[in-house]
Structure 1
Amino acid sequence: MWRRRFTSLPLFFSHLQQVRRVDELKICQAFCTETVKPPVEGESNSGRHSPFVAFVLGGPGSGKGTQCLKIAETFGFDHIGAGDLLRKEMHSDSENGAMIQKLMKEGSIAPSEVTVKLIKKAIESAENRKFLIDGFPRSEENRVAYERIIGAEPNFVLFFDCPEEVMVKRVLNRNEGRVDDNEHTVKERLKVYKAITLPVANHYAKKGKLYKVDGTGTQEEIFERVRPIFASLRVLL
């Protein structure tokens, strides 16, 4: 079971529940004024630090994937995409791979437990101890499975808030050749996102762990809103 490394984090994130947008100075002060205590003996496995995990949520076209790449490159986080893990496992010779392939052919989704165990394996096998989990959990079922199997909540949740019309336009302009990238199907995907993923964001907002970022504007403008959050994390990581 993973335990948090920093006893100061819960107090810090209680501030975030009350603040929608905080400038870099205020964020730095929020981190720096807390007392950072060393981990208690036994908090890490094999002498390794407990992982620092951030969920990254947002609708299709919100820009979360692009921002994850920028965060990973700038601040040294490992970027884990649940979909990428499932596709990789699907092409393996494992029992799970065959099951995932069968489900995808049927238009079904992999069980939450399978996805979480793949995430757990990716984290445990990495040298890095800082992780962005992109687009997961997608549902309350995912969230409950993650917290049960991992034995811990994420350290915080980054949520890209973006108007529906902006997300639709971005998806349609991506030109990735996906058969479901038309206006009707994109709007249907957004309905599903609102119905099953937004409750996850609301859950973490109530716990003071959600940080909402304005997802409008250029990639660079959005990253300038994200940068202060992760720059301040360097005080703790």
Structure 2
Amino acid sequence: MGSVDASNGKKPTVIFVFSIGGPGSGKGTQCAYIVEHFGYTHLSAGDLLRAEIKSGSENGTMIQNMIKEGKIVPSEVTIKLLQKAIQENGNDKFLIDGFPRNEENRAAFEKVTEIEPKFVLFFDCPEEEMEKRLLGRNQGREDDNIETIRKRFKVFLESSLPVIQYYEAKGKVRKINAAKPIEAVFEEVKAIFSPEAEKVEA
């Protein structure tokens, strides 16, 4: 399939975004801030898969059937959707959220796209804090229950943690304490992104 270039022909800058356990870590809010302040495009693997299903394409039907059967969508399928989104976007800086979920995803992404992330942004939020936030949110989301949080936490430790450890060994992980209030978390985020922003403008 060959490497992926942004629409301007340059290799895009990619940052993988991770958080433990999903809802409640504040990851979505912080991604929105990064987009607004630093000009990144936020690509959510889950959103791309859902959009593909909604489009009614053959690919979308296949994805829907796999999800229904409780199977994991093959890496190649998600990577193709991410590649397409990068190439069609017009930007050259991307936050990729919800992918890679495991080591196999990570290896496939780097092999297919020939892109290694600039760094990995890891929102580290203790399980208890997320439980507290989710119970306080009470927005009626079906995934907002303790059982789901614990399950996600376990999946994270088994699947996603090895990816973070892989990049940690390369000095590419930027860990953020997501248990703090939103503004304080964004101060940490800004400290990570600001030198980059200055370099871009220089």
TM-score, length basis structure 2: 0.90
Contact 1:62/1:162 (8 A) holds in 2: yes
- Identify which of 133, 143, 152 aligns with 1:189: 152
1:55-96 Cα shifts (integer Å, max 9, x gaps):
011112222221111100111100000000000001113221
- Identify which of 48, 58, 63 aligns with 2:26: 63
Change over 3 Å in CA distance of 1:138–1:173 after alignment to 2:
farther
Contact 2:6/2:87 (8 A) holds in 1: no
Structure 2: runs of 5 or more not aligned: none
In structure 1, give the amino acid aligned to 2:80.
K
TM-score, length basis structure 1: 0.77
Contact 1:213/1:225 (8 A) holds in 2: yes
The structural deviation recorded for 1:169 is 2.0
The structure having more radius of gyration, on CA atoms, is 1
Change over 3 Å in CA distance of 1:162–1:98 after alignment to 2:
same
Give distance in 2, aligned partners of 1:46 and 1:123.
8
Give distance in 2, aligned partners of 1:47 and 1:102.
36
In structure 1, give the amino acid aligned to 2:111.
R
Give distance in 1, aligned partners of 2:41 and 2:58.
26
1:110-139 Cα shifts (integer Å, max 9, x gaps):
111101110111001111111001122111
Tell which deviates more after alignment, 168-177 or 109-118: 168-177
Give distance in 1, aligned partners of 2:110 and 2:15.
13
SS at structure 2 position matched to 1:62: coil
In structure 2, give the amino acid aligned to 1:212.
K
The count of aligned residue pairs is 197
Tell me what 2:15 maps to. Answer: 54
1:81 aligns with 2:40: no
SS at structure 1 position matched to 2:96: strand
The structural deviation recorded for 1:172 is 3.0
1:182-211 Cα shifts (integer Å, max 9, x gaps):
112211111111111111111000011111
Alignment of 1:1-237 (within 5 A): 1-2=2-3, 48-59=9-20, 60=22, 61-237=24-200
Tell which deviates more after alignment, 139-148 or 99-108: 99-108
Contact 1:78/1:130 (8 A) holds in 2: yes
Contact 2:125/2:178 (8 A) holds in 1: yes
Give distance in 1, aligned partners of 2:100 and 2:19.
11
Contact 2:110/2:116 (8 A) holds in 1: yes
The structural deviation recorded for 1:168 is 2.0
Give distance in 2, aligned partners of 1:107 and 1:172.
27
Contact 1:65/1:134 (8 A) holds in 2: no
Contact 1:64/1:160 (8 A) holds in 2: yes
